[in-house]
Amino acid sequence: MGKSAEIAGAGFAGLTVATELARLGWRVQVHESADRPRTFGAGIFLWDNGLHVLRELGVVDRVLAGCHEPVLWEERTATGERIGVRPLAARGGLRLVTLPRQRLMDALLAAAGAAGVRVRTGSRAVGADPAGALVTAGGRRWEADLVVGAEGIRSTLRASLGVPTEHVVFSAGACRLLVPRDRAPRAGEMWQCYLNFSDSRSQRRVLYVPCGNDVLYLLLGAEHTDPALRRPLDPAPWCATFPPLRSLLSELPATPRFDRYEALRLTTWSVGRVGLVGDAAHAMPPTLGQGAGTALANSLALARSVDETGDVVAGLRAWEAAQRPVVDLTLEESVRGVSFMYPGPGAPGLDGWPGEAFRIAAHRVPPRRGG
């Protein structure tokens, strides 16, 4: 009889671990507390490492259909003056695409279903036993060879294990939303690029990200105490601060998703037969666009390590030893990026950011099975 895995969280990390284990012959069940697996309405950045994982899972073409792949990232003032430009293909041939988060979710759900993963909705994980059991609300135990906590930055599995955690919540935050692309200006090549508009006086910024032909991803960032972030969201201060974006900012949802920037670092990614991955283990602020790619690559590596070693505990240890150095460096660079995006008085200079760790992370992929 093959080995079994119980996984908490049907997000990007949980579905990736589940799909690869099932493809390797494991019996896999994913527990999702919601009534269906879904993600919030925003865009997502995928670099080479994330695209490689999707290629390994057989869904990269589905994800890439209709995505956006620019050649430039531009830094602009609030009034539209260009103050910096970064060719995106110049960093060792790195590829970057953007798409709605739901398209990635749908592709991963399709891969999991094709691999034979069972997704149990309305099943809320509340704890884990290092000996090999996931516990859901009501006290039911689900015995397994491997248990994975992938239910986000406020993971209940991680809390139940008592893993020492360094959790930083930054003063900056952002509203993230999708808007129809036909509201964007059409004239000029700049509107095909990724554009980061920033206002040094108010510390507000708007990140403009095409996500295919139909939608744009907008990130409205500021200090979390800024009145412009109060809900219901008032378009007026954003239009006044960023005149070139008035056509996009004049109609905003009253209560868009808002998140403070956060970072999470654990002393260990596993306890016994329980592993932690994705935001449950190494959440990072979105300054590098590497949260998803790192989670996907690390999740694929977890599955392959525990399968190839033949010993779950040893496999989890080997996985962390191999993956942690690059993940930690990526996390550190993403934290440094908060000071780049929201410098504030006396902020340190960030010349050369992002650096070598980012290039390594964006290229890094787990080895193929058997090689």
pLDDT value, residue 183: 85
Q: Answer yes or no: are the C-beta atoms of 286 and 44 closer than 8 Å.
A: no
Closest residue by Cα to residue 262 from 341, 325, 172:
172
Amino acid at 284: M
Amino acid at 335: V
The DSSP secondary-structure symbol of 68 reads B
Tokens found for residue 31: 């527990």
Prior bond of 237 cis (ω within 30°): no
10-residue mean pLDDT series, the chain (371 residues): 92 98 98 89 90 95 91 92 79 77 95 98 97 96 98 96 96 93 79 92 94 92 95 95 95 91 97 98 93 96 96 98 93 86 50 51 56 47
Residue pointed to by tokens 């294990």: 161
Cβ count within 10 A of residue 233: 19
Residue pointed to by tokens 């403009």: 208
pLDDT value, residue 306: 97
Tokens found for residue 363: 């290229």
Domain 4-40+101-168+262-363 homologous superfamily, CATH:
FAD/NAD(P)-binding domain (3.50.50.60)
- Residues paired with 148 in a beta bridge: 7, 275
pLDDT value, residue 27: 98
Give all strands (DSSP E) within the chain, no chain letters: 4-8, 27-32, 43-46, 72-77, 82-87, 97-100, 118-121, 125-129, 133-136, 140-143, 146-149, 165-180, 194-199, 204-210, 215-223, 257-266, 270-271, 274-276
Give all strands (DSSP E) within 131-164, no chain letters: 133-136, 140-143, 146-149
Tokens found for residue 80: 């539209």
